[in-house]
Every structure is written in C-alpha cells, then in structure tokens.
C-alpha cells in the first residue's frame, strides 16, 4: 500500500468501492471546472478515462496538473483530497479500460462504442493527499 494514503482511507481507492472522483481543472480563461469521473487505483496512480476532444482531455494535455476529491458514497463528509501531475497518457488499451470501469460502476463490461470516439487513459500521481471525515 502507498504510504501517502492516510490511514483508514485506502478503502476509498479499492476496486470494490464505487466512489466517484471529482476532478478539478483550471480552464484557459482561469475559471475552475469540476467533473465527476470514474477511476481506478493502480497502487500508486489514479487512472481515469475520457474521450479525445472533451474538455478534460484538452485541459490535461495543456496543463497537466489536477486536484481531485474522492468521496465515500456512504458518507460524503468522508473523503480524500489529492493534488498532483498527470504523468501518463495513452490511447492504447483505452477502450478496454473504460469497459473495466463500466464493470466497476455498473456491473457489466458493455460500455457503448460511439462512432468516431477515441478513448484515452490518463494517470495522475498524487503528490499531496489529505483525508477528512
């Protein structure tokens, strides 16, 4: 287990927990944007998935640093807050990975394929992590 994770909060990162991550980005005009996203924890990095051309994709490519809150679905006052850089980006295996996230959050792997949509994986390295609740 990563020592950065506050004691007693590793369950929020588990595959079994259907916690959402709220991804905070700064847009080009300086305004913030927060988006709920599916995620998985690979033991050291937060892994998210989006489609090319979406706001998340554009912003993380231009300014690869984010903040996130991962809220406990059973108690939203209990959460992890983290900040860190985007350290990896790839289209390779991205459709398969969104199917894995579909399995985690909906119990089936049938994520709809949309014509012309290119999925992309982003990995975020938490450099600061705090817990509340």
Q: What's the confidence (pLDDT) of residue 116?
A: 94
Instruction: Indicate whether 69 belongs to any domain.
Output: yes
Q: State whether residue 107 is helix, strand or coil.
A: coil
Name the nearest CA neighbour of 69 among 128, 20, 26, 126.
Answer: 20
Could you tell me what percent of the chain has a pLDDT over 70? Answer: 98
Exposure on the CB side of residue 45, measured as CA atoms within 13 A: 13
Q: Which domain holds residue 107?
A: 10-123
Residue 41 in this model has a pLDDT that exceeds 90: yes
Length of the chain measured in residues: 133
Instruction: Indicate whether 78 belongs to any domain.
Output: yes
Instruction: Indicate whether 129 belongs to any domain.
Output: no
Instruction: Indicate whether 130 belongs to any domain.
Output: no
Instruction: Indicate whether 114 belongs to any domain.
Output: yes
**Count of other CB atoms within 10 angstroms of residue 128:** 10
Instruction: Indicate whether 19 belongs to any domain.
Output: yes
Sort 23 into a burial class: Cβ within 10 Å, 0-12 / 13-18 / 19+: buried
Q: Domain count of the chain? A: 1
CATH number, domain at 111? Answer: 2.30.110.10
- What pTM was estimated for this model as a whole? 0.94
Instruction: Indicate whether 4 belongs to any domain.
Output: no
Q: Calculate the average pLDDT of the chain.
A: 95
Q: What's the confidence (pLDDT) of residue 70?
A: 98
Q: What's the confidence (pLDDT) of residue 2?
A: 55
The pLDDT tens digits of the residues spanning 46-101 come to 999 999 999 999 999 999 999 999 999 999 999 999 999 999 999 999 999 999 99
Q: What's the confidence (pLDDT) of residue 1?
A: 43
Instruction: Indicate whether 5 belongs to any domain.
Output: no
């Amino acid at each position: 287990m990563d020592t950065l994770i506050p004691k007693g909060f590793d369950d929020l990162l588990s595959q079994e927990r259907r916690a959402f991550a709220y991804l905070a980005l700064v847009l080009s005009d300086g305004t913030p944007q927060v988006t709920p996203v599916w995620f998985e924890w690979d033991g050291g990095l937060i892994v998210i998935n989006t489609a090319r051309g979406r706001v998340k994709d554009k912003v993380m490519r231009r300014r690869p640093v984010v903040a996130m809150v991962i809220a406990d679905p059973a108690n939203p006052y209990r959460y992890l807050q983290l900040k860190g850089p985007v350290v990896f980006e790839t289209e390779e295996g991205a459709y398969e990975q969104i199917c894995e996230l579909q399995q985690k959050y909906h119990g089936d792997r049938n994520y709809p394929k949309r014509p012309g949509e290119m999925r992309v994986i982003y990995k975020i390295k938490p450099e600061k992590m705090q817990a509340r609740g």
